[in-house]
């Protein structure tokens, strides 16, 4: 016997369902319904207004952190030739500074301070891109692919920060 859910959320006590009717969970709540971690049954045909329609959620703090981490992993793989040593140090500093200044911008005391920190983040992203262009990867295809991805990410971060600045001024 299958029960249908007539309203968007039904709190389900799984122990009672299993003990009273000796049924499986699927047969108790219906196979078309979705059970989430809060033990609520959701009808997938109904969409709650607070749910995000776009699955891509952009958290810029997380994105800058990932960028910095990817740069560090990339730096570990690079050959340690004379020209790369100082450039790697500068790259690691500037890539970490992108996210650090963005976090500071989010904690800004004024709009002017916010815009100033975002400008610094944009400048550091631009500097990271510069150091990525200077690095020598000894024609290693895997390193070249990663370097191009990191250059693309630095460029996208610059564009995002530029957009934030234009909208904030």
Residues 69 and 148 both lie in one domain: yes
Whole-number Å distance between alpha carbons of 159 and 43: 40
Residues 25 and 97 both lie in one domain: no
Residues in contact with 39: Cβ distance below 8 Å, sequence separation at least 6, in sequence order: 11, 12, 13, 14
Tokens representing 107 are 């904690």
Residue-level pLDDT, tens digit, the chain, 169 residues: 444 444 334 344 434 444 454 444 444 444 444 554 545 555 555 444 444 444 444 599 999 999 999 999 999 999 999 989 999 999 999 999 999 999 999 999 999 999 999 999 999 999 999 999 999 888 899 999 999 999 999 999 999 999 999 999 8
> What are the backbone dihedrals phi and psi of residue 117, each rounded to the nearest 5 degrees, phi first?
-65, -40
Residue 34: its H or E element: strand 34-35
Structural domains counted in the chain: 2
Residues 68 and 27 both lie in one domain: no
Q: Which of 160, 150, 148, 147 is nearest to 60 (CA)?
A: 160
Give the pLDDT confidence score for residue 29 in this predicted structure.
43
């Amino acid at each position: 016997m299958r029960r249908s859910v007539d309203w968007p959320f039904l709190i389900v006590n799984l122990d009672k369902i299993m003990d009273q009717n000796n049924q499986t969970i699927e047969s108790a709540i219906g196979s078309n319904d979705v059970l989430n971690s809060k033990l609520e049954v959701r009808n997938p045909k109904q969409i709650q207004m607070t749910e995000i329609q776009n699955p891509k959620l952009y958290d810029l703090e997380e994105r800058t952190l990932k960028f910095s981490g990817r740069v560090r992993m990339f730096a570990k793989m690079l050959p340690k030739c004379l020209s790369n040593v100082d450039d790697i140090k500068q790259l690691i500093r500037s890539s970490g500074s992108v996210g650090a200044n963005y976090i500071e911008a989010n904690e800004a005391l004024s709009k002017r301070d916010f815009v100033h920190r975002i400008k610094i983040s944009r400048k550091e992203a631009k500097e990271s891109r510069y150091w990525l262009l200077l690095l020598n990867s000894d024609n290693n295809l895997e390193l070249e692919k990663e370097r191009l991805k990191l250059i693309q990410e630095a460029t996208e971060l610059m564009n995002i920060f530029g957009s934030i600045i234009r909208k904030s001024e």
